[in-house]
Amino acid sequence: MNNNKITPFVATHPGEMIKDELKERNMTQKQLSELTGIKPSVLSETINGKRSISLSVAMALEKAMGIPAEIWMNLQTQYDIDSANIEERNKQKETVSITIPVGDLNLLREISRKFGWACMF
């Protein structure tokens, strides 16, 4: 991961933009589904971030909303990149070394419970 690159705390799914557009246009998901021909379940899953925006969905959104398919695809690509960078960042864990008196088993148990492990040597 490039340290000069800014990785957001959370990735924003393009479904958020669809939600915002629906609100601005006083349109329901059902109306957008009917206008685009996108199945209601597919549209709902996309809006709720459970499904990626495919090229066919991007093209249908372009026709219905006037927002170019390229923008929808770029939003999806950025979401995918941000998600991958966030996952990579979260994999990098800091290791902390502490010394615990051998007789303090309660503290050792608490550390094991909290962090899921403890290394003894």
Predicted confidence at residue 110, as pLDDT, reads 77
Predicted confidence at residue 107, as pLDDT, reads 74
Predicted confidence at residue 119, as pLDDT, reads 58
Task: Looking at mean pLDDT, say which of 7-11, 41-45, 83-87, 100-104 comes out highest.
Answer: 41-45
Q: How confident is the model at residue 1 (pLDDT cuts 50, 70, 90)?
A: very low
Residue keyed to tokens 């996108």: 38
Residues 89 and 1 sit within 8 Å (Cβ to Cβ): yes
Predicted confidence at residue 91, as pLDDT, reads 80
Average pLDDT rounded to a whole number, residues 82-103: 76
3-state helix, strand, coil in the chain (%, to 5): 60, 0, 40
Residues 14 and 43 sit within 8 Å (Cβ to Cβ): no
Predicted confidence at residue 74, as pLDDT, reads 97
Whose CA is closest to 54, among 80, 72, 29, 34? 72
Q: How confident is the model at residue 71 (pLDDT cuts 50, 70, 90)?
A: very high
What is the rounded CA–CA span in Å between residue 16 and residue 97?
42
What percent of the chain is predicted at pLDDT more than 70? 80
7 found inside a domain:
no
78 found inside a domain:
yes
For CA atoms 50, 55, 57, 59, the dihedral sign is positive
101 found inside a domain:
no
Tell me which residue range forms the domain holding 73: 15-91
Q: How many residues does the chain have?
A: 121
Tens of pLDDT, residues 30-57: 999 999 999 999 999 999 999 999 999 9
30 found inside a domain:
yes
Predicted confidence at residue 97, as pLDDT, reads 67
**How many structural domains is the chain composed of?**
1
What is the rounded CA–CA span in Å between residue 9 and residue 16?
16
Which CATH number characterizes residue 24's domain?
1.10.260.40
